Structure formats: C-alpha cells, structure tokens
Amino acid sequence: MPIVDWADEPGRVYRFQYQFKRGTTARWLLLNPVLEESEPGHEIDTGRFKIGDGLTNWNDLDYFTPGNVSGPGGNNGYLFVQVEPAAAWIIAHNLGSMREPVVVLDSAPSVPVLTDVEHGSDNQTTIIFPEPVSGKAYF
C-alpha cells in the first residue's frame, strides 16, 4: 500500500496508508457496484482499473488507460504518468473542467509531500512538488 506523508502546518506531519477497492474480475462482475465519483477500483488479476462517476455500475464503466480521455460529460477521466522524476508535472488532460487529481507516487519521498495544484485552464493542470518525484495522477 502506498504510504503518504501529509503536513497541515510546520512540524506536524501525518503518515497514512491507503488502498484502492480491489477484487478479481469475476468478483467485480458479480457485485457490479457503483463506485463514488473519482473512486478507483482495481482488478487484481488483470491489473486494470476503472474510475467511478457516482452513477454507473462497474459492468458499464470503461477501463481506464493512460491518456484515456472521453471529454466533458463523458465517462472516466485521465491518467497522467510521470516516468522521469520532476518537481513540476504539467498535465494537458483536455477534460474541459478543473478536476483535482489523485496523485500516487512511485516511492516514498524523502520530505513530506505538500503539493500545489494550479489549474492553468479547464484543460491543463500543474502539480508542484517540493522535490522531483515520479508517479501517476488520476483525474
């Protein structure tokens, strides 16, 4: 499970772990749940996942893939992959709305991660980190 450090003021750091909802393909198909808006669900036997919209059952959601953009009013969102560590991720997602990303880092950072998210437009977001990092941003 990813470990995240979060600070709300200097000297106060919280460390927590989180995990996505997960299950086998057969289990997801059988239960067919509705995931909350922006909530990821992971198929542990295929490695694929879907992002909920708060309305659509699992069986009717599209699988999420890097760059899978269905546009404004469409299903899912966008996955950005930052392969090389960088202190600023400039993401042209073309979603037509200012969505807050969920960031998953490839490794635990050496300093607490306080990110600054800037929306240059409805179609671009910049995430700024205190040090270069790699990982994924889900919109």
> pTM (2 decimals)?
0.47
**Edge to edge, what strands does the sheet with 49-51 contain?**
21-23, 40-43, 49-51
Domain boundaries, the chain: 3-138
Q: Give, for all 139 residues of the chain, the pLDDT tens digit.
A: 445 555 555 666 555 555 678 889 999 999 999 998 878 888 888 778 888 888 999 999 888 765 544 433 344 577 888 888 888 988 888 878 787 777 766 666 555 566 788 888 888 888 888 888 888 887 7
DSSP sequence for the chain: --EEEEEEETTEEEEEE---EEE-HHHHHHH-PBPPTT-EEEETTT--EEE--SSSBGGGSPPP-TT----TTSSS--EEEEEEEEEEEEEE---SS-PPPEEEESS--SS----EEEEEETTEEEEEEEEEEEEEEE-
Interior angle at CA 19, CA 15 and CA 20, nearest 5: 145
Structure tokens at 39: 């909530």
pLDDT on residue 46 = 79
pLDDT on residue 14 = 57
Q: Are 52 and 34 in contact (CB under 8 A)?
A: yes
CA distance 32 to 48: 16
